[in-house]
Amino acid sequence: MKAVTVFRGLMAFLTAIPFKMDESFLEISARYMFLFPVVGAVIGFLVGLYARFTSTVLFFLFDSVNMLLFSGSQELLFTFGAKALASAMTIAFLLVIIGLQHTDGLVDVGNALGIRKASLKEKMDIAHVWTVTRTGAFFALIVSFFTFLLVFLMNNNLMIQALIVAEVSAKLAMVTTAWQGTSPPQTLEDKRGKGRSFIDFIRKSHKLYAISLVISLAISIALFGLNGIFAVAAGILVGAFMIVLGKQVFGGVNGDIFGATNELARMFALLVLVIVVCVL
């Protein structure tokens, strides 16, 4: 299969960018899931460029207003405002790029966790009703807020690199859940779910996972040196945790677990990068 076709299929699955693809993009995405980190790097680069452009424009505008109205006396306040607005716009752009599909998975997992005394079938059902429980909303809001906060705290000069590595780590986390996870029993699995096909292609395929891991490490180390390893490790750990959580909540790894894994892994990768860049 041509590399261009594979890339377009993966982009069509992982983003909301309108690529002209038929239904085969689902099979392509499952078969080549080990290349998710490559697409993650592309997504992170696009979002990073937007973040740098937005912050540059907003800092200029806010600084001009400060000089014009306050003679520069409110520099700290306007700098804070420009950074906060740029960070919020970056998160909004990221959500537009990925089409909210991963956030939807996070909400569905929260919906299921909100009903503790319930069977796996009941949790599967509540995860997919057209409503948002308090737990589901809390999960989505708290992850979005902390992701925004971490983007706000990140050094602007390293923003593009950080977002690339964070997305690479998030995609590796998804690959990890498919590599070591198991699908829910067919009697429980949501018929609309596509998680089973991804697991079928990569489960226990150590060679494919090794390729995905090497790609992730190469990109992360190239951008952050050995500190990039910590961000990759964060993605792996989140993936491992979500395998256990998926087993308890849904009886295995499904599409919702994949989506929630992506959101959580991105947040923790950014946390690691903020710590190693701003603190250490």
Q: Tokens in use for 175?
A: 């690959």
Neighbours of 265 (CB within 10 A): 31
Mean pLDDT of 240-255: 91
- Residue 183 CA, chain-centre distance (Å), reads 21
Residue 188 predicted with pLDDT over 60: no
Q: Tokens in use for 181?
A: 């996870």
Which domain does 26 fall in, by range?
3-279
Helices and strands (DSSP H and E) totals, the chain = 12, 0
Mean pLDDT of 171-179: 96
pLDDT at 192: 47
Q: Tokens in use for 73?
A: 């006396």
Number of domains within the chain: 1
Residue 8 predicted with pLDDT over 80: yes
Closest to 41 (Cα-Cα) out of 220, 176, 269: 220
Structural contact between residues 171 and 40, judged by C-beta atoms closer than 8 angstroms: yes
Structural contact between residues 140 and 110, judged by C-beta atoms closer than 8 angstroms: yes
Neighbours of 218 (CB within 10 A): 14
Residue 189 predicted with pLDDT over 70: no
Per-residue CA distances from 150 to 18, 130, 195, 269, 273 (Å): 29, 31, 29, 10, 9
